[in-house]
Amino acid sequence: MRSNSVGHSYNSSPAPAAMATPPAPTPTPFLSTSSPHFGAPAAPSLPRHRDRCAAGSRACGCCCCGGSFMCCCCGVLIFLIVAIGAAAAFLFWYIKIPTVQFVKAQAPTDRSPLVLNTATATVNINWDFVFSVNNPNALGIGIASLDMAGYPSSAQSKDADRIANGTATDIHIESKATTPINFPVTFTWNLQQQSQSAFLSGMLTACGAQSGSPGGGQLSVYYELKVGLAMLKPFGYKYPYKDTQAFACPVNLSQFAEIQKVLQLINNATSAATSKSG
């Protein structure tokens, strides 16, 4: 400690040196705590699309994983889907539906009009219905199948009430023309089915089976048609038609020897039903 001439004192020791600034820490790569190698630098991640393909993710697109071959397959698949959809739209909206009209009932040309099965107590009456099909399209149309179900009336249209069936296949309809179709129909009478008895008893009367008259009496049948066009067969679609039609009985059942057996079976069934109700 020294004093100057004016009476002030001062410290003669040297001032302490300034402290050096520590160097900044070197940044380390990001470490994932969920990695099995925690504490080691994380590996560089793959691009997103390559990572999905390597992992087999379902989000991977066709062209991503399989290269040009898969791209080609995907393109063909998309083209087929679009083509099928366009074809279906064309067929359903551009093609005009053919109209079907009942013409008459006639005796069959290749079957017996009356067939009796005593073992099952059923009677088959075979006719041909003639339908006219009008095709308004500029191209001919093929009908893959034509199916009919007949009932006593529209109020009795359950399967248990069905009295007639018919089917025809592989029919060609000319373009912008009306084509007649001979449609084989079989009326089946189960003598044990009471819901059929009223209609079929009236049929026997109209066809002269009981009175010996020449027949030609009037009948009325409610029928449902399903028309399956050949071009729509892969889609399984059939156009429905429903109508009630009156017509004259086309055959005289009294000319067949089996009719007496049929009448006897009817009498036996009627007597059995009466005894049960009594």
In a domain, 278, yes or no: no
Q: Burial, 183: exposed, middle or buried (Cβ in 10 Å; 0-12, 13-18, 19+)?
A: buried
pLDDT at 121: 80
pLDDT at 102: 92
In a domain, 30, yes or no: no
Through-space distance between the first and last CA atoms of the chain, rounded to whole angstroms: 150
In a domain, 256, yes or no: no
In a domain, 109, yes or no: yes
- The total of structural domains in the chain comes to 1
138/6 Cα distance (integer angstroms): 132
Q: In this structure, what CATH number is given to the domain that contains residue 238?
A: 2.60.40
29/44 Cα distance (integer angstroms): 10
In a domain, 237, yes or no: yes
Q: How far is CA 25 from the centre of its chain?
A: 73
The pTM assigned to this predicted structure is 0.63
In a domain, 60, yes or no: no
Q: How far is CA 209 from the centre of its chain?
A: 44
Element (H, E) at 239: strand 239-248
Please, how many CA atoms are within 13 Å of residue 120, restricted to the half-sphere of its CB? 10
In a domain, 127, yes or no: yes
Q: How far is CA 190 from CA 31, 161, 255, 256, in A?
A: 86, 11, 22, 19
172/228 Cα distance (integer angstroms): 12
Q: Determine the structural domain holding residue 170 and report its residue range.
A: 99-191+218-249
Q: Which 3-state string (H, E, C) describes 143-174?
A: EEEEEEEEECECCECCHHHCCEEEEEEEEEEC
74/8 Cα distance (integer angstroms): 99
In a domain, 66, yes or no: no
Q: Which of 203, 205, 219, 201 is nearest to 266 (CA)?
A: 201
pLDDT tens, N- to C-terminus, the chain (278 residues): 444 444 444 454 454 444 555 555 555 444 444 444 444 555 555 455 444 444 444 444 455 455 565 667 777 778 778 777 776 666 666 778 888 899 999 999 889 999 988 788 888 999 999 999 999 988 888 999 999 999 988 888 888 889 999 999 999 999 999 999 999 999 998 877 776 778 888 888 899 887 666 778 999 999 999 999 888 788 788 889 999 999 999 988 888 888 888 888 877 777 766 666 65
